[in-house]
């Protein structure tokens, strides 16, 4: 194992140790807040995988995050005894009666007819499975259509952007069934094998930290596989990779689905921690903000994008709660992004990578070789393996 790789592994180990040590120094309220930041770190990983490694700038990542959040929130809504419509033949949320259109019949018979979408979610396992399955299915369908047609560049960004806005409009417009602008609130706590994950408990924080750790390590491993090398080569030159006999669209669709699954899982964790799901998850601003997180952290670095998302949100929380900076916190975050793009185009992850490379070169007593991105040579090597 090379020194560079050892130092990289040490960086991952230090980060994982740091997030697991947080409960030793923070109270329950602070744990809940930091758990949300860790969820955002998972979104940073998803963006890095999609944008940094696959070269797919997805401006609609909030779609997959929102779908995952809503799927679990629907189950937790039905699990809350204070959220059910009293007197209905089937378990349906109370807002179905509250949000009925003026002049429309509001008897329980009509509510029961409109409840077919909710019936499967009375089983919590359905919400947990669909929270990942639905984002993956949507991503797979979108990937098959887009990547098979060899649509790339800004056109993919425009398509994903239009899709997330479309789904958000549907969610808001179908208010009697989805809760509309209000989203889904008054949720029960997640319960697995008799253990209840209270949003402010250490158990919930351990759950989020553990899933983030597994996601971080698994994503790192998957980009180092043969498929990951092919994907990075396709990002640099699709024609050359196709010439070598690889189905580029298949690799792109697969990793696009992996990124959507991570985002859907992050959405479910956010519901567990924050106890609500909202159409604001699918706002354009939120999806674009994810891209900013990855850019600051380093879009070509899994760990960098994760740390960038966490740091930016910690800064945002701290600045927005400072009385003297309340009116300027968005401008400050924007300035941080601009300065990062100007002086650290590869983000914090790129800076760390250069530092590790220099340390390795010093230890070997050799000049550091410039970083070379994955290319057809790497793919050829993988093909021969």
pLDDT of amino acid 345: 75
Q: How far apart are CA 248 and CA 369, in angstroms?
A: 29
Residue listed under structure tokens 């919590």: 124
Name the β-bridge partners of 197: 190
The reported pTM is 0.88
What ranges do the domains of the chain cover? Answer: 3-101+109-384
Check: CB of residue 241 under 8 Å from CB of residue 376: yes
Which helix (DSSP H) or strand (DSSP E) does residue 310 occupy? helix 302-320
Q: Which two tokens stand for residue 17?
A: 């140790």
For residue 88, what are the CA distances in angstroms to 174, 237, 243?
20, 58, 61
CA distance 199 to 272: 6
| Exposed/middle/buried for residue 1 (C-beta within 10 Å: 0-12, 13-18, 19+) | exposed
- Bridge-based pairing of strands 190-192 and 195-197 is antiparallel
Packing angle, helices 61-79 and 124-148, rounded to 10: 160
pLDDT of residue 333: 74
Confirm if 310 and 38 have CB atoms less than 8 A apart. yes
pLDDT at 376: 47
d(C-alpha 128, C-alpha 106), whole Å: 31
Instruction: Show the 3-state SS of 41-85.
Output: HHHHHHHHHHHHHCCCCCCCHHHHHHHHHHHHHHHHHHHCHHHEC
- The β-bridge partners of 190 are 197
- pLDDT tens sequence for the chain (385 residues): 676 778 788 889 999 999 999 999 999 999 999 999 999 999 999 999 999 898 898 989 999 999 999 999 999 998 887 766 544 555 677 777 665 555 555 445 555 555 677 888 888 999 999 999 999 999 999 999 999 988 888 889 999 999 999 999 999 988 878 888 888 988 989 988 888 899 999 999 999 999 999 999 999 999 999 999 999 998 888 888 998 889 999 999 999 999 999 999 999 999 999 999 999 999 988 998 899 888 888 888 899 999 999 999 998 888 777 776 666 767 777 787 788 777 777 777 777 777 767 766 776 665 554 444 444 444 554 555 4
Q: What share of the chain is helix, strand, coil (3-state, %, to 5)?
A: 75, 5, 25
Task: Report how far apart the first and last C-alpha atoms of the chain are (Å, whole number).
Answer: 19
Task: Give the contacts of 26 (CB within 8 A, at least 6 positions apart).
Answer: 34
- Give the DSSP H/E element, type plus range, for residue 197: strand 195-197
The residues, any chain, with a CB within 8 Å of residue 44's CB and separated by 6 or more, are 290, 293, 294, 297, 305, 306, 307, 308, 309, 310
Q: Say which residues have a Cβ less than 8 Å from residue 92's Cβ, sequence separation at least 6.
A: 78, 84, 85, 111, 112, 114, 115, 118
- pLDDT at residue 366, rounded to an integer: 58
Bridge partners of 305? Answer: none
Query: What is the C-alpha separation between 269 and 65, in angstroms, rounded?
Result: 10
């Amino acid at each position: 194992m090379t020194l560079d790789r050892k130092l990289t592994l040490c960086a991952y180990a230090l980060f994982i140790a740091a997030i697991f040590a947080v409960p030793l120094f923070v109270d329950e309220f602070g744990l809940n807040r930091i758990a949300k930041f860790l969820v955002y770190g998972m979104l940073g990983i998803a963006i890095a995988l999609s944008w940094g490694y696959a070269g797919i700038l997805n401006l609609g990542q909030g779609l997959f995050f929102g779908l995952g959040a809503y799927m679990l929130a629907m189950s937790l809504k039905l699990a809350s005894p204070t959220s059910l419509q009293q007197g209905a033949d089937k378990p349906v949320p109370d807002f179905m009666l509250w949000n009925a259109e003026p002049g429309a019949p509001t008897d329980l018979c009509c509510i029961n007819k409109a409840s077919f979408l909710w019936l499967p979610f009375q089983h919590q396992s359905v919400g947990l499975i669909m929270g990942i399955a639905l984002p993956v299915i949507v991503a797979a369908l979108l990937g098959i259509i887009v990547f098979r047609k060899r649509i790339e560049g800004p056109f993919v960004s425009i398509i994903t952007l239009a899709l997330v806005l479309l789904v958000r409009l549907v969610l808001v417009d179908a208010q009697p069934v989805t809760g509309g602008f209000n989203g889904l609130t008054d949720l029960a706590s997640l319960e697995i094998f008799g253990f209840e994950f209270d949003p402010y408990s250490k158990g919930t924080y351990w759950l989020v930290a553990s899933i983030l750790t597994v996601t971080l390590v698994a994503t790192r491993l998957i980009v180092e596989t043969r498929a990951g090398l092919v994907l990075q080569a396709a990002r640099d030159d699709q024609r050359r990779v196709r010439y070598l006999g690889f189905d580029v669209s298949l690799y792109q669709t697969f990793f696009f689905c992996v990124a959507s699954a991570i985002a859907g899982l992050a959405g479910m964790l956010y519901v567990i921690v924050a106890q609500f799901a909202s159409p604001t998850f699918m706002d354009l601003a939120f999806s674009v903000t994810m891209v900013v997180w990855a850019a600051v952290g380093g879009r070509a670095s899994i760990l960098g994008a994760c740390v960038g998302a966490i740091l930016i949100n910690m800064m945002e929380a701290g600045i927005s709660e400072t009385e003297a900076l309340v009116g300027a916190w968005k401008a400050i975050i924007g300035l941080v992004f601009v300065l990062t793009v100007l002086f650290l185009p590869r983000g914090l992850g790129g800076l760390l990578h250069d530092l590790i490379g220099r340390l390795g070169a010093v230890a070997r007593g050799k000049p550091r070789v410039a970083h070379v991105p994955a290319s057809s040579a790497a793919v050829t090597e993988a093909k021969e393996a």
